[in-house]
Structure 1
Amino acid sequence: MKRIGLLLGTMAVLSGCQSMGPESTIDSRSIYRGDNSLLYQVKKQTSSPDQAMQMAAMAYQAGDLDQSLFQYLHALELDPKRYAALVWVGRIHRERGNAQLAELAFDDVLTSDPENLDALAEKGLLKLAGRNHEAAVKLLSKAVALDQRRQGHGDGLDPANVTGLKVDSQSPLKVYNGLGVLADLRNDFLQSEAYYRLALLIDPRSVLVQNSLGYSYYLDGQWSEAERTYQRGIDYDASYQPLWRNYGLLLARMERYEEALSAFEQIGNKAQASNDVGYICLVEGKLDVAEQFFRSAIEQSPAHYDVAWENLNRVQQLRRIRQMGTGPDSVAVVPTEQPVAQ
């Protein structure tokens, strides 16, 4: 079983070792991969899987992912069939960008429990993030089918028939949101909106879904609807950075540059905000406006903002190409704080 190999790194923790020799290292396939100092600094050994799960959840909420990861693995050792713990291990690794470790965890759950809805959902989101859209659709659709069965809507309901789907407070919000994102990628905006509406029935105040729906409206050219959706999401949670990023992108595209700067400044410094607005103007072909923002970024941080210099050089190159009247336009250098979707 994969879990045996994955837990090798945890065994050293639980054995109470106080030192490690040069040949005693965590296995390269260990699913732990946390801060090794934590291995000797666990404040409290738990004696039951329920206690370990509670401590793991508390550590996760506090932002201590190493402690959370350790406690979830500890819960799994105490109860090897505690699949929820292994799903959380995978989720933490997914959030940290450790895609291979995350997939190992989800696959191990699905090997023992092929219809584990949480593992299907998380692996589907992992495939979506990795741009494996075909696999993402398959996994998320299976998760929807299981959710519909749970609600008594039968096994044959097609997740693509969005109007026939039902949700409740226990439905996996991120699954329906993920299927909405996949529909946006196909430019099927009617279907994506239907999925987002279902997700909002699960949690009407979800900033994740408000951000996704707003970006869907943006892609569809419904900029006024996008603006209202972003503003509503910000009202719900002004600390959610992707909302500010996409809101700034929208405002810059609407040529409301001062408001766009203000939006980007919510998630970065003034130099970064100026560069981001300039980047959008550059992509739009508005070279004079882009140059103003890049120069502003350089003036605010001349020693540390190399990307603005690179983008300013690209403006000058494109201007020369236009003057010569030959050659295609080049692509801008992607800024460190590039506006990104969803």
Structure 2
Amino acid sequence: MAETDFPAELAELRDTLRRITDVIDVEALRAEITDLEQQAADPNLWDDQDNAQKVNSQLSHKQAQLDRVNNLASRIDDAEVMAEMAAEENDDDVRAEAVDELGSIRKALESLEIVTLMSGEYDEHDAVVTIRSGAGGIDAADFAEMLQRMYLRWAERREWDVKVLDTSYAEEAGIKSTTFEVKAPYAFGTMSVEAGTHRLVRISPFDNQGRRQTSFAAVEVIPLLEGTESIDIDENDLKIDVFRSSGPGGQSVNTTDSAVRITHLPTGIVVSMQNEKSQIQNRAAAMRVLESRLLLLKKEQEAAEKKELAGDIKASWGDQIRSYVLHPYQMVKDLRTNHEAGNAQSVLDGDLDGFIESGIRWRQGE
């Protein structure tokens, strides 16, 4: 085994961290945190609950980002001490531990570096993810539920806050659609590379003849926008329906007409919410998502017009972005980046970091 050049490795890690902190602008980040802490300490802050939640959310996100940088700096210092101990005592066990820690730090820096590649207008925002079953009947509904489980497990590994807003269950198995909110720094910038059509190939557990089935599910990711960024919506453009929430288990939400469906008539956009206990809460959540979708639609239309004027009408994202093959072999492959994994079950259990990070780097290159 080649001897590790600890001074060179440590110098490289410190240089990488320095480049990352230059992009993040740690001093500006500290100043923002100080300002947000002052706002959070204002005794009148909660007079405006929406603003209070916004301030506390921003403070939590930015403090977590600063903590992540500081933690990596401390780990590099500790690794240097460990390497010096190994050299002084000629201890192979400590040396091996130092080598492992250097590798772990390198991976953490690569993950943090991904943040520096997210400079889109809404990348820092929380995300709202909607999954819809597509072609493939029962298998597609089952696949949509598999994708929901995959993303929830992935977010859980990262200790990100996730709240399921609405789920429409299919009659036999799986789900027709689900919408959930992900609250974390750069949640939208991170998850937006998952938007598109996903394909599953497997032996159908719902086919008595055991035939291979191909099914599809669509993933939509939009940024959750703050109130100051929302757009005016004419109440006359809305059709609002209330109904009894549905789902397994007989939850308390099923006992009243608390679920809300809002249809924006000019665009045909439909948003349903049913996971809150009150109609007022579900309506507020639905309006927040509707506003985000309408503003994003407006931005997309403006971008499309600019591309058309420039003579570039090529879409930057294909319809089908990823294939999950469970038969006759196991493989998950991203069709944009060519990143692939042979353990499909591990990916479906939430091991998505490699796909998402390669997607972000691919997007930056595009």
TM-score interval, smaller chain: under 0.3
TM-score (norm 1): 0.25
Kindly indicate which of the two structures has a greater share of residues assigned to strand: 2
- RCO higher in structure (CA 8 A, sep ≥6): 2
